[in-house]
Structure 1
């Protein structure tokens, strides 16, 4: 083992220890595996001059190929939800923090994550326009009628009727949270932004294959 790789292994172990204390849901060994995976993905990036994290293109490939997400708008929003400091790269810490919720989040954490994804302009509300854009984006392939916009507008009104508890014509965080607690299926009402169980299982088996199960 060269001195360099031994050194980076030590760095990885130290980083894994720090991150596993800061981030719920992953133990030190798992954090170490995720850091190594991150380094591998970083090494595959074409943009060599960007060592500061995974770029949008690379991350979207992972969301699509590994986690089965298909909607462009939603994938872009998930990227932004991971990229907490808005520097257009996913750092190793953002990678592990994001995956903690993405793979193993509690219902509370998932509600917050989905709300952030759906609140397109970040103003703390999901408006009629935002719902319309997201539903149009995710349903357009399934709608065959001449004017799908009308159908989507109707759907937005149905959803508002069900989820808008304070009747102000938009969804606040508390509206969204209350609705999802009453009916968990509403968590991803505006498009799939979390991976299915089988994708999570496959990813974890691959990422944590060398680790002893707890």
Structure 2
């Protein structure tokens, strides 16, 4: 990046310094790399609208191509989890703060993030209906004799039995957290919304590749 004007480099560094204060899991150099990557991705956005961030389409492409996500509903929810201010763009700050949890989050951070993704209407609970929607969406349609909806309803009931500690037929955050802490595999019970280890490694290797050289 030697062709970058020093003014531009200074501004980038300033931006990195301001962002690094808010993210737990990246150092200054990594933040700088993620800003550069963000700018590259922004440059690829076809229509240069007023929005100063990655739009839903662009963001979903990243989730799909880089992290292997395929479920439209979940990708949409991940976009919303990243887009904290709900302006339909993921700003550079939202991008880096989101990735911090997405790639390197603690269990607590990931529980909070997954719950947010799964709470489709944002009322603080994952309801039977929400579970049904997500599971119906994420399970591969198997050609069977029986009505697939019945199987999913059963799955919802099994999940509730396992996770609904206060027995109010819906999952509060406390229910979800307790269940996941007892059994980590339940973290992504309603659909894959976090990247697997392999794609994290690939993404980080690519994003941070020039950190060793300079």
| TM-score, length of structure 1 as denominator length | 0.95
Q: Residues of 2 paired with 1:142 and 1:116: CA distance?
A: 26
Partner of 2:58: 58
Count, aligned residues: 211
Q: Residues of 2 paired with 1:167 and 1:186: CA distance?
A: 18
The answer on 1:144 being equivalent to 2:143 is yes
Alignment of 1:188-207 (within 5 A): 188-207=188-207
- What is the DSSP-based 3-state SS (H/G/I as helix, E as strand, rest coil) of the residue aligned with 2:185? helix
Q: Residues of 2 paired with 1:115 and 1:106: CA distance?
A: 14
Alignment of 1:1-214 (within 5 A): 5-139=5-139, 141-146=140-145, 147-212=147-212
TM-aligned CA deviation for residue 68 of structure 1: 1.0
TM-aligned CA deviation for residue 51 of structure 1: 4.5
Q: Residues of 2 paired with 1:51 and 1:117: CA distance?
A: 23
- What is the DSSP-based 3-state SS (H/G/I as helix, E as strand, rest coil) of the residue aligned with 2:113? helix
Root-mean-square deviation (CA), in Å?
A: 1.3
Structure 2 unaligned blocks of 5 or more:
none
Segments ≥4 residues shifted beyond 4 Å: none
TM-aligned CA deviation for residue 50 of structure 1: 3.3
Structure 1 unaligned blocks of 5 or more:
none
Q: Residues of 2 paired with 1:42 and 1:7: CA distance?
A: 20
| TM-score, length of structure 2 as denominator length | 0.95
1:77-110, CA deviations, whole angstroms, 9 ceiling, x for partnerless residues?
Answer: 0000000000000000000000000000000000
Of 128-137 and 40-49, deviating more is 40-49
